[in-house]
Amino acid sequence: MRALTVWRLKHTVTSTVQTAKEWQRQVAAAHHSIWTHLYDSMRAAHKPKSKLKFVTLDKESNMSTLWRREEFLRICSKEDLAQKAQDIEVTIHVNQSKEARHNLDPESFFVNRFWGRRPDGVAINQALQIVHILNLNGRQTGTRGS
């Protein structure tokens, strides 16, 4: 009887995990579909004389990886961006699961959290020296390990 109970519990847990993974995959697919449609709409509305350049993110990249590209470095140094980002990051709630890391070193926590973010897209206006970081939702993406 005990073996049957353990098997049922294991089967239930396995089914629940598989269902959660499938749900997560479907949410990610919907997110990417919406982003692709929005991005295509923005590009279609883009005026030829506009100075705004949409940077296609062929793969997910975090802010640290993006800022290694020359087109970003021409607009703002990594150090300057880190300072500006920290001013914004400190206004964003720290999740309870990340409080211990935050309490160890609050200053580096916010900078590291920013560099770990993965934006949905980026648009650059080199004439005005502006980088627009596009994110479809309010969840804090790509912050694992920060």
Phi and psi, residue 124, nearest 5°: -120, 135
pLDDT in tens, 62-112: 888 888 888 888 888 889 888 888 888 888 888 888 888 888 888 789 889
- Residue found by looking up tokens 């140094």 in the block: 77
Long-range pairs of 43-51 with CB within 8 A, sequence gap ≥ 24: 51/125, 51/126, 51/127, 51/128
In this predicted structure, the answer to whether residue 146 has a pLDDT above a threshold of 50 is no
Q: What is the pTM of this model?
A: 0.60
Q: Residue 108 is encoded by which pair of tokens?
A: 């580096």
pLDDT for 66 equals: 85
Distance, in Å, from the CA atom of 72 to the CA atom of 70, rounded to the nearest integer, reads: 5
CB-CB contact of 113 with 140 (8 Å): yes
